[in-house]
């Protein structure tokens, strides 16, 4: 039976996509690179350096590893500055009540975010205490779609992967959850998250009783 829920951060608990977009757009504009909302969507759930590589590939640009690191750090500095304006209006509607409700049921709550700034976001919003275990990009070697981040979260929550439900809004995150042997709930557009066991538009769409009735065989079978 399900004993834990692991949440991605961006787009699932907090909306920070706009801050990422502004920071990447600023960097791209400074170098004359094309950068659009659709390209930004491809960066969701992807590490900073991998995101930069996607932008470089899109623009046919080749840089050294050192140059990439400098630019990735420059983007992060601007992103962190933008985070100074984050407030409760950036919270995904219904996220906090939903997580609080899970906790009252004895469900353990984890965070699995590839962002290395996740702790900063949680602290700024005063919601760090909602999570029993927090795994960020600082804790892993491999980014999503590799399952490492969710595997680490399960260990820290003291549960098995088959006892976990993952809430994700990115295709790479859904792939990571499935690779970890967990129930995957897509949060957002079904056309982009069709491999998930369940796709919901918002937290009001989640049938908690049905979700928690799933067992390990549900997590490893093909999504329905």
Helices 65-82 & 48-59 angle (0-180, nearest 10): 110
Phi, psi of 166, deg, nearest 5: -110, 135
Provide the 10 A C-beta neighbour count for residue 155. 13
Predicted pLDDT of residue 222: 38
Tell me, yes or no, whether 110 and 216 share the same domain: yes
Q: Is the dihedral of CA 88, 125, 114, 12 positive or negative?
A: negative
Over the stretch 112-121, which tens digit does the pLDDT of each residue have?
998 889 999 9
**End residue of a domain, out of 85, 112, 132:** 85
CATH code for the domain in which residue 202 is found: 3.40.50.1000
* Catalytic center residues: 8, 10
If pLDDT is split at 50, 70 and 90, which confidence band does 214 have?
Answer: low
Q: Are 68 and 53 in contact (CB under 8 A)?
A: yes
- Can you give the residue range of the structural domain that contains 148? 4-15+90-220
3-state secondary structure of 15: coil
Over the stretch 127-144, which tens digit does the pLDDT of each residue have?
999 999 999 999 999 989
What pTM was computed for the model? 0.83
CATH code for the domain in which residue 76 is found: 1.10.150.240
For residue 92, is pLDDT > 70?
yes
**End residue of a domain, out of 46, 66, 85:** 85
193 by Cβ neighbours in 10 Å (0-12 / 13-18 / 19+) ranks as buried
Tell me, yes or no, whether 60 and 149 share the same domain: no
**End residue of a domain, out of 25, 50, 85:** 85
């Amino acid at each position: 039976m399900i004993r834990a829920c692991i949440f991605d951060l961006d787009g699932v608990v907090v909306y920070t996509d706009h801050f990422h977009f502004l920071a990447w757009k600023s960097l791209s504009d400074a170098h004359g690179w094309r950068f659009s909302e659709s390209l930004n969507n491809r960066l969701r759930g992807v590490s900073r350096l991998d995101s930069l590589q996607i932008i470089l590939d899109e623009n046919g640009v080749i840089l050294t590893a050192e140059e990439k690191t400098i630019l990735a750090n420059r983007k992060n500095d601007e992103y962190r500055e933008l985070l100074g304006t984050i407030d409760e209006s950036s919270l995904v509607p219904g996220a906090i009540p939903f997580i609080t409700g899970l906790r009252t049921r004895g469900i353990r709550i984890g965070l699995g975010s590839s962002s290395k700034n996740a702790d900063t976001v949680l602290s700024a919003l005063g919601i760090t205490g909602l999570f029993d275990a927090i795994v960020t990009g600082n804790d892993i070697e491999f980014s999503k779609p590799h399952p490492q981040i969710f595997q680490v979260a399960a260990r820290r929550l003291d549960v098995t992967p088959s006892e976990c439900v993952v809430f994700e809004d990115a295709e790479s995150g859904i792939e990571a959850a499935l690779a970890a042997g967990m129930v995957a709930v897509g949060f957002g557009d079904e056309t982009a998250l069709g491999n998930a066991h369940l796709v919901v538009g918002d937290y009001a769409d989640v049938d908690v009783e049905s979700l928690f009735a799933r067992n390990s065989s549900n997590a490893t079978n093909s999504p329905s």
